[in-house]
Amino acid sequence: MSYSLIEYAAFFSMLLIVLSLIITFIRLVLGPSLPDRVVALDLITMLTVGFIISYIILTRESVYLIAVMVVALIAFLGTVAIARYLEKRVLK
């Protein structure tokens, strides 16, 4: 079975995303402050979205695209809500 360049790129990107997830998880656990942990959690969500998109490219199944968009939107809204909470907490 011969793989195309796109499939090799998808495999390579999945490998790099897993490596990034491990490093980001370490930052989430060891983060010195709450904003660092929030950013790490948001990055983990976006890396997961990237991993799923790489999987979609690799398998050529577009079923997961809607789920990816919903997860990305919820993660963005959650990060904005936490940022507003942290901003109000600092101002008090």
Q: For the chain, what is the domain count? A: 1
pLDDT category of residue 21 using cuts at 50, 70 and 90? very high
Do the beta carbons of residue 45 and residue 24 sit within 8 Å?
A: no
Give the Cα separation of 82 and 77 in Å (integer).
9
Q: Which residues contact 49 (CB under 8 A, 6 or more apart)?
A: 68, 71, 72, 75
pLDDT score recorded for residue 86: 86
* Domain of residue 48, residue span: 5-91
Mean pLDDT for all residues in the chain: 92
For the entire predicted model, the pTM comes to 0.87
Average pLDDT over residues 5-18: 95
